[in-house]
Structure 1
Amino acid sequence: MSSEAEGTFEVDGVSLYTKTWTPTGPTKARLIFIHGFSEHINRYNDFFPTLAAAGIQVLGFDQRGWGRSAKDKSDWGLTGPTARVVADVAAFIKHNTTEEVPVFVMGHSMGGGEICTLMADEKYADVVRSVRGWILECPFIGFTKTAEPSTIKIMLGRLAGMVLPRHQLTHVVPPEDLSRDQAVVESIRNDPLCHNTGTLEGLASLLDRTALLSSGTVKVSKNVKSILLQHGTGDLTCSFDAAMKWLEQQTEVEDKVAKPYEGGYHQLHSDLCKEEFGRDLVAWILERSEGGARAVEAKL
């Protein structure tokens, strides 16, 4: 069982919508969650209570331009450049870090790419050091062959973005590519907060982050203690191979685990394998909390 609470988080003069799922019993760990493109934290209303029931408190927020943090249609996709996006994520982590229980950070899709970028940014070394473990659910580290935009489309978009950075552009990720559960597909299709709208600046920054992560040159900070990568082999949106390659390249992280889900689609938390995915996630977090955390530290 868990209790839910809505709130706001103030950063750089902007108020962002937040939601927290808290265990009714003892809290064994705290999980800070970063959502993906064209979604919002309330898309996880069916999943996060299962984590809270296991003693894991979950805190999340709707990023700039998304969900309830976008107060008007003119705000849709208005994320700002990568520096702004990463600063928001780092500020939310810092605001919610506690010494009472170990803190974990999880990112899905676009959010996964964002926390990979944060892990490698020495500007946020103190924030990274405070996190016990990082979880990547189908992170956006590379496109699948069918989802990759053409070079011409990217070039034209960049040129237009230099002139009109706040210009909004619709980019639809087909709902049927996200989950094998048809009820979930329909709920995404009918969710008015999944608006599929980005700005030229925001989309260009997203592409730049992804290109850098897939280049093989990005190494996470030595302060990163543990990484769990959970990825569906049937993901039609973000490349399974690119994510696995990225993890292999993080040679200084000794405690890293890759868990593939055979045939799993992009939203593992709402796919047909969601129960296995949830069990693996809970087990990994709790193993690194309390006595488990000390055991892992001893290996490092």
Structure 2
Amino acid sequence: MPTEIEGTHKIGEHELFTKSWKPDEPPKAKLIFIHGFNDHIDRYYTLFPTLASRGIEVHGFDQRGWGRSVRKPEHKGLTGPTSTVISDIVSFIKQHLPSSVPVFVMGHSMGGGETMILASDPQYEDLMPSIRGWILESPFINFPKGQEPGGITVFLGRLAGRFLPHKQRLSALPAENLTRDPEVVKSLKEDELIHDMGTLEGLAGLLDRAALLSQGKAKLNKGVRSIWLGHGTKDMGTSYEASDAWMRQQTQVKDREFKTYDGWYHQLHADQPDNRLVFANDVADWILARLGPEDVHQTSAAKL
């Protein structure tokens, strides 16, 4: 059975809650995981234990403003600006470097968007050779069709974020929109670590990152070698079409794959109970297939 280890990662005066899932045997690879909006690292069901059971060591943390990294009510949703969000992720990744086994980075929803922004930030181009592959689960690139906020709403929200950056605002998606499993819906509503709160600054940053990605203004660094993106066609949290379009634009990355989950909702890791192992093993298979010579993958056709 995989071993679960809790801890903290200190950045300045802030302590972030961390958790690792370690295989019984020496790991074949390491995965750094970035969770989504209004979420925390303990809500990923069988994904991390399954990866660990297949030899992939998993490390994650509750981002600033979320989960057990929140220690005061006024810290709920207090992520800071995008520069802080990304530097937190980089700090956590570097804690696990150098590594004797290949390192992969995976992000879900908001965390998927953050992962892509990190991989596109020239400031962190020197980190790219240390990351063997980037994995995206239902990343936030745009809103689903029919759920886009109006232009005036977005403008006023960004303006308010400049003057009242720490003002909190209830910003949760309906739990029923995230998964088809009624038991997971129930647990989302009852989870005391899910506070449904964002700050104006954090929400503005979320929108800004999505705009950079959807408009093609964020360009992946040259050192990005491999990308896998999985998205459900019935996602009501983020846009399946935006993910498809974004992946088709990444022609400079020869080893890339877009995986469609027909009929699945936003949380692929917490979809119907029978499907969770399918998703977890898809991720594990992709990682384990990239532990050998890279030229095998670089010369193969991208699966889009």
> Could you say whether these structures have the same fold, taking a TM-score greater than 0.5 normalized by the shorter chain as the test?
yes
Query: Which residues in structure 2 correspond to 1:112-123 (within 5 Å)?
Result: 112-123=112-123
| Further displaced range: 96-105 or 280-289 | 96-105
Which string of whole-angstrom CA distances, capped at 9 and with x for unpartnered residues, describes residues 238-297 of structure 1? Answer: 0001011111111210000010000011000010232221121110000001x2546336
Distance 1:63 1:105 in 2: 15
Aligned position for 1:78: 78
Distance 1:210 1:12 in 2: 28
Query: Which residues in structure 2 correspond to 1:266-281 (within 5 Å)?
Result: 266-272=266-272, 273-281=275-283
Distance 1:201 1:158 in 2: 8
Aligned position for 1:194: 194
Aligned position for 2:207: 207
Aligned position for 1:53: 53
Aligned position for 2:137: 137
Q: Which runs of 5+ in 2 are unaligned?
A: none
- In the alignment, residue 241 of structure 1 is paired with which amino acid? E
- In the alignment, residue 284 of structure 2 is paired with which amino acid? V
Aligned position for 1:286: 288
Report whether the alignment pairs 1:40 with 2:40: yes
- In the alignment, residue 239 of structure 1 is paired with which amino acid? S
Contact 1:219 1:249 in 2 (8 A): no
Which string of whole-angstrom CA distances, capped at 9 and with x for unpartnered residues, describes residues 181-203 of structure 1? Answer: 11111111111111110110010
Aligned position for 2:185: 185
Q: TM-score, normalised by structure 1?
A: 0.96
- In the alignment, residue 183 of structure 2 is paired with which amino acid? A
What RMSD, in angstroms, separates the aligned Cα atoms of the two structures?
Answer: 1.5
Distance 2:70 2:290 in 1: 35
Distance 1:196 1:235 in 2: 19
Distance 1:215 1:12 in 2: 34
Which string of whole-angstrom CA distances, capped at 9 and with x for unpartnered residues, describes residues 107-142 of structure 1? Answer: 000000001000111110122221000000000011
Contact 2:270 2:276 in 1 (8 A): yes
Aligned position for 1:227: 227
Aligned position for 1:296: 297
Distance 2:267 2:149 in 1: 21
Q: How far does residue 46 in structure 1 lie from its aligned partner after superposition?
A: 3.3
Which secondary structure does the structure 2 equivalent of 1:248 belong to?
Answer: helix
Q: Which runs of 5+ in 1 are unaligned?
A: none
Aligned position for 1:156: 156
- In the alignment, residue 192 of structure 2 is paired with which amino acid? P
- In the alignment, residue 143 of structure 1 is paired with which amino acid? F
Aligned position for 1:258: 258
Q: How far does residue 151 in structure 1 lie from its aligned partner after superposition?
A: 2.2
Aligned position for 2:21: 21
- In the alignment, residue 290 of structure 2 is paired with which amino acid? R
Contact 1:286 1:292 in 2 (8 A): no
- In the alignment, residue 218 of structure 2 is paired with which amino acid? V
Distance 2:229 2:174 in 1: 24
Aligned position for 2:102: 102
- In the alignment, residue 280 of structure 2 is paired with which amino acid? G
Percent identity, aligned pairs only?
52
Aligned position for 2:167: 167
Mark the CA change 1:195 to 1:91 in structure 2 (over 3 Å): closer, same or farther.
same
Distance 2:89 2:33 in 1: 9
Which string of whole-angstrom CA distances, capped at 9 and with x for unpartnered residues, describes residues 209-251 of structure 1? Answer: 0011100232201100100001101101100010111111112
Contact 1:226 1:255 in 2 (8 A): yes
Report whether the alignment pairs 1:240 with 2:216: no
What is the number of equivalent residue pairs in this alignment?
299
Distance 1:11 1:206 in 2: 21
Deviating 4+ runs (over 6 angstroms): none
| Further displaced range: 43-52 or 176-185 | 43-52
Contact 1:287 1:293 in 2 (8 A): no
- In the alignment, residue 287 of structure 1 is paired with which amino acid? A
Aligned position for 1:67: 67
